[in-house]
Amino acid sequence: MPFVSIRLAGTASKQQKAEIVADVTRSLVERLGKNPAAVQIVIEEVSTENYGAGGQLIADRDAPTSQPRGDAHAEPGQ
C-alpha cells in the first residue's frame, strides 16, 4: 500500500489539492501498477512563518519590500 506525504510551503486550494491527489495516484498506478484504492496521500500545508531555508523564514524572504528598487523618480543623491 503506497503512502505519499506531500508538504507545501503556504497553501493550495481544494481544487489544486484534489488535482495533486489525482495526478500522484495516476502516476503510481501507471508506473508501479498499484491499485488506486490502496494509494494514500496526505497533503500538509506548512505556514511560511514556520518554514525556513537558507537561514531565513520563507515568509520574510517572500515579503514585499517597503522601498521599490531602482526608483526612477528618486531625487539625485537620495
Torsion of CA 34, 7, 18, 62, to 10 degrees: -150
Reply yes or no on whether 2 is catalytic: yes
Among candidate residues 2, 36, 64, 76, the one labeled active-site is 2
Torsion of CA 64, 66, 72, 77, to 10 degrees: -140
Please identify which residue in the block is written with the cell numbers 517597503.
Answer: 66
> What residues act catalytically?
2
